[in-house]
Amino acid sequence: MVEAPRRDPVQSEPSVHPGVTIALAPPMRRWSLRAKSRQALETHLGLSLPRKIGETSGDICCLGPDEWLWRASDAVPRDMGAGLPISVVDVSERSVGLILDGQAARSVLNAGCPLDLERFAVGRTTRTVYEGVEIILHRESETRWTVDVWRSFAEFLWMSFQAAAVNR
């Protein structure tokens, strides 16, 4: 069987607006990590996991009391933990990343996100919504944000960001 070439759901060229640039993030691997015992997952992966919801440690963010997201460009878990009371699932093809960078990035995000992003700390990550679309939002710096969105919603989210950047 011949695989169809994969196409990104949004344009590869950054979209530049006054105060904000919206761009497709470089490709990266993503794993959904679940375990009732954080320690069992840490032992299996050989990594330290963040302890608090919203906290990020290296490439791993804590999304819930028993849920983490590991995003990395080159790291790979040694195995998926078959037979252990943990779950390590490769979800790399499910999502794409969008980057909003610039002084107006927060304003663009606030146009469709209900969170108080002015108080959203650098380094924090959370699951939220933008215009009804579930996203994972990470604040990299004062002016740079990464948004993970399911591939099927990426084009809609891209267009929503464009509209917010133009109409802010």
Residue range 62-113, pLDDT digits in tens = 999 999 999 987 766 666 666 678 888 889 889 999 999 999 999 999 999 9
Please give the Cα distance from 24 to 100 (Å, whole number).
9
Q: Is residue 4 scored above 50 in pLDDT?
A: no
Find all residues with CB under 8 Å of 30, minimum gap 6, and list them.
69, 70, 71, 90, 91, 92, 94, 95, 148
**So what's the pLDDT on residue 7?**
59
Q: Is residue 24 scored above 50 in pLDDT?
A: yes
- What letter does residue 117 receive in the DSSP assignment? G
To which H or E segment does residue 137 belong? strand 133-139
CA dihedral 63, 66, 67, 72 (to 10 degrees): 110
Whole-model pTM: value is: 0.88
Question: 45 pLDDT band (50/70/90 cuts)?
Answer: confident
